[in-house]
C-alpha cells in the first residue's frame, strides 16, 4: 500500500493506493464492462434548416427567441440549467428561428430538440 495526500478544492485527503503489479493480479478475471445506454434519438433537421439540440439533461430557465425571429451565430437562444450551472445555448449559424420546441420551465434530456434555425 502507498499513502498519498490529495488536495481537492483546498481540502486535504489522505488516500491509500494498493499496488497490484504481480502475478496474483494477473490471475484475477477482469470484470465485464457495464453496458452503455444508447443516446437519445435526435430529431431530424428540416430541409435546409439546422436543429439545435440539448447538449445535456436539465431545465430550461429562459427562452430568448420566438419563431420567425432573426438570429446571428453566437446569439443566446436559451438558458439551460444543469447540475446547478446555467449554460447558454447559442445559435450555431445565422438564420431565422423556424420553431421553438421547448418552453421556460421544461425539463429536457440529452439530444432533445430545442429549436430549429432556417
Q: Dihedral sign, CA of 49, 50, 54, 59? A: negative
What is residue 112's predicted lDDT score, i.e. its pLDDT?
92
pTM exceeds 0.75: no
What is residue 19's predicted lDDT score, i.e. its pLDDT?
76
Predicted confidence (pLDDT) per residue in 76-99, tens digit: 999 999 988 999 999 999 999 999
Asked whether the beta carbons of 79 and 60 are under 8 A apart, the reply is yes
Counting as low any pLDDT under 50, the low residues of the chain are 25-26, 38-46
CA dihedral 81, 85, 88, 89 (to 10 degrees): -50
What number of residues does the chain have?
118
Domain spans of the chain, in order of start: 50-117
Which class does domain 50-117 fall in? mainly beta
Amino acid at each position: 500500500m502507498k499513502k498519498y495526500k490529495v488536495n481537492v478544492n483546498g481540502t486535504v485527503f489522505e488516500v491509500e493506493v494498493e499496488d497490484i503489479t504481480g502475478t496474483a493480479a494477473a490471475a484475477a478475471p477482469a470484470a465485464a464492462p457495464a453496458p452503455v445506454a444508447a443516446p437519445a434519438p435526435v430529431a431530424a433537421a428540416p430541409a435546409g434548416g439546422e436543429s439545435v439540440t440539448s447538449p445535456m439533461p436539465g431545465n430550461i430557465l429562459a427562452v430568448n427567441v420566438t419563431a420567425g425571429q432573426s438570429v446571428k451565430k453566437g446569439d443566446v437562444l436559451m438558458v439551460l440549467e444543469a447540475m446547478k450551472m446555467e449554460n447558454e445555448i447559442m445559435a450555431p449559424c445565422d438564420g431565422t428561428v423556424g420553431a421553438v420546441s421547448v418552453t421556460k420551465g421544461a425539463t429536457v434530456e440529452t439530444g432533445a430538440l430545442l429549436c430549429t434555425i432556417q
